[in-house]
Amino acid sequence: MSTNEPVGSKALAERHNLNVSPATIRNDMAVLEEQGYIAQPHTSAGRVPTDKGYRLFVDRLSQVKPLSSAERRAIETFLVGAVDLDDVVTRTVRLLAQLTRQVAVVQYPTLTRSTVRHVELVPLSERRVMLVLITNTGRVEQRVIELHEVADDARIAHLRAVLNACLDGCGLSSVPELVADLPERVPAEDRPMAATILSVLLETLVERHDEKIVFAGAANLAGADFSSGLRDVLEALEEQVVLMRLLGETSPDTPAALTVRIGSENPYSGLRGTSIVATGYGSGDRQLARLGVLGPTRMDYPVTMGAVRAVARYVSQILAAS
């Protein structure tokens, strides 16, 4: 698996203490080849696992390889130092790429899956105010709003209190419905100002609706042997839509589960020579997005699965505590 070279019966007999002859191994390999678990890439060459063979191996894994205490401490220290959501995502994708020596892919939590933690209104001048929307995932959206009238600090403070009383803890997808009658809750003279601020708030949610994917470690693919070609893999990585679908399709029913999609199980032709290991992460019991790694089908599955699971767990803890 580490070299991607075909392996013959003699090499297996010499390398592993199987206590059987090369002839016996050849017979067993012939049966496995007939059943589709291994294949002979070239005449008179050894055998390599097929996608079906890798699937059997992954399904039979009794456990993933646990990380060492030093690795766990390093992960926690590296991720805990993040200052905001962007920093968490950047650190996570770099860390996964380093741990697995594969391409790491991290999906940003979408605003539609987040909840409002706090809305802040910061007066900048008599007719300018900054709207700050903070979500439970640590995401911060800021907008400077030009008002049509002078608004003193007391009026701004009252509107801030009304906004937080209305929106605190609610899902962002529910915000438009909840703020529909909010201007009626403020004095008549403040309603034009409230309408302007709410309009900008709703525009912010619409503009950031699309999901975003970040990846790192493409250089790790340089030494891999892809049947479909490295160029096809790199082109697929540049397509945000493809990456979003790959992460989303790994586990449609149980987003928190660790899932593995191997080779031909991948519906995208440019990535038929790759495997994807992914899982969900989130805040508390709420799964917000997914992360994982992509690499050749001959990847070290126990190590990769262990790293993906551990990093997702630490990211979830950070988001829950933030």
Helix (H) or strand (E) holding 236: helix 230-237
Close Cβ partners of 224 (under 8 Å, ≥ 6 residues apart): 4, 230, 295, 296
Are 172 and 115 a contacting pair, CB within 8 Å?
A: yes
Full domain range(s) for residue 250: 69-110+211-321
Whole-angstrom distance, CA of residue 190 vs CA of residue 181? 14
Beta bridge partners of 168: none
Q: Which two tokens stand for residue 107?
A: 């999906």
Q: Is the same domain home to 219 and 194?
A: no
The CATH number of residue 125's host domain is 3.30.390.60
Output the pTM of the full model: 0.73
Q: Is the same domain home to 241 and 254?
A: yes
Q: Is the same domain home to 22 and 158?
A: no
Q: Is the same domain home to 100 and 217?
A: yes
Q: Is the same domain home to 73 and 121?
A: no
How does pLDDT run along the chain (322 residues), one tens digit per residue?
455 566 766 677 667 667 778 788 888 888 888 899 888 776 666 778 899 999 999 998 877 788 888 888 889 888 888 877 888 899 999 999 999 999 999 988 776 667 888 999 999 998 899 999 888 777 788 899 999 888 888 889 999 999 999 898 888 878 888 888 787 888 888 888 888 999 998 887 765 545 688 999 988 888 776 655 778 888 888 877 777 777 776 544 555 688 899 988 887 877 888 999 999 988 666 677 899 999 999 889 999 999 999 999 999 888 877 6
The CATH number of residue 23's host domain is 1.10.10.10
Q: Is the same domain home to 317 and 216?
A: yes
Q: Is the same domain home to 101 and 225?
A: yes
At residue 61, what is the residue type? L
Q: Which two tokens stand for residue 27?
A: 């017979």
Could you write out the DSSP letters of every residue in 86-127?
A: HHHHHHHHHHHHHHHSSEEEEEPPPGGG-BEEEEEEEEEETT
Ordered strands of the 140-146 beta sheet: 116-125, 128-135, 140-146
Count of the separate structural domains present in the chain = 3
